[in-house]
Structure 1
């Protein structure tokens, strides 16, 4: 395969399930949750090197300063007039790239432990994309997870497989069936496709969205490294994910299996799993004392936290906000009034 891979980094969402650390004014992608770099900086670093073109970042106006502070000088930014989910965000970036450009679409807030495996999958996916396929990274599951969508493997093709079907988040019983079958993978939201091929599929399956994207980009304006699409045309778009709008409808969907230590860091429990634990499964960041505790995570930016006799509990202190939750209830943190800004 020749030509560069064009990273497209999506900075949408507010990360409410990681409240109180993640807040609207400084959401999850821009936090240093694992190591010294933020998740956004780590994503950009993975997409740097001889095979990669300068990144295109799609971000909302509220987070432009954060993105520019943490991003490289050669980064280009497409400013989302308002949030409309991943399909329009990707389409904006595609419309700003040459039709033959191979896009590597990455969420800005995921963790990948094995960069070499990520690069190998990116090469395989880009090769398939150069042949006209729309390619999903198919992440090998290690547990019957109910919080992710799945991809079923179809017939083999050179460098990967065709996609038999995309499956919505299953219940626990179906997730166990998927894991046992060995033909299902997690859909991590990382994709590769040609910019022109993606826009052609969008035109076929969501013509109104494609038209609005064309109008918004044609009437947009550029200032420095920022491109501002025209807001009125963009506002007419119905919010929809790339999975629903394109990937579940195209006949050219392919998948590249990969094991790369992936996590979407979607909850405090997921972050606990990605951090280094002690022999009792405890994870501590900040000042804390744990006595007879197991599988407890404490994350404090100031006050000392003392825990006795706890099991499978998350404790987070951020300024004047404190969260205490069982790890198996961590999915519900986004429902708290503070997390939603109420």
Structure 2
């Protein structure tokens, strides 16, 4: 149907496609979206040698995490998975727990740092399910940080004004997370990002090349710049720097006082539920999993809070063992070796690693592949 007086010969041809042409267009689009991320992997080098960790500035770059995970699992590394306790905010990458584990075992095997800053259990479950599919048939050391059940806000049962880390990784629809208040469209977008590799790659490009912006926003901020500049990396891909000064929590300049935490019982805890789901998912993939509970900074707690923490810690370890999961509960470190409630300083990581390698659960891990060099392949 055409409007009176309108010569369709001079109308727009852009949208006048037949059903067959639309089908071909859709297939080409799917093909491009499927190929671009894999082609880009060949173009963009990943210098994930010994002690590599995800740069702090790219903590929300899950495509990069997925790539690091795939490479580490393919090498036969022991995968050390967890939040910032594994990542190491007070240390360089040569002072993290994975580094000292490799040193304590004589360098006979690599330990990959798969820690991600802010990856609380609800986010870690999504990270492992959506971006950690390559963690299969591996040896995994999984850290359990009970900080995430230290208050209703940390446990996501109560919202806080600042929100929480990694909302795109948590369950978008079920189970319900009281602290998660997001629009339906954003939730659907998060689901697509986690299931369509092209969207995860696009987020990687925004994070690593455009300072977190999309191309139109970048162009507005740089109206006279060559768009080709957007292809240059903007983040510190070496990640060889501390995020916080390496000062103990008790240093007067820190202003940190002893805390009375509002601990959540395991039966009521959302975070504990998600942590158990992560353990189950890893076990179902044929991984050998060893869970390390703590060590939390007990020196920072008031006496009553400390008693509750120790009960919860022992309950968590007991439940894991009842489920057939190997579990280590390290002793508390000296006070001066903590940077805050849960993060050790460099000497603390070294002491923790030396204790862990003497435990049967860690010693029973297969010898694995020999480390050819400290740079990686």
Identify whether the pair has TM-score above 0.5, normalized to the shorter chain.
no
- Larger proportion of strand: 1
- Higher RCO (CA < 8 A, seq sep 6+): 2
Tell which structure's C-alpha radius of gyration is larger.
2
TM-score, normalised by the number of residues in structure 2: 0.23
> Scaled by the length of structure 1, what TM-score is found?
0.25
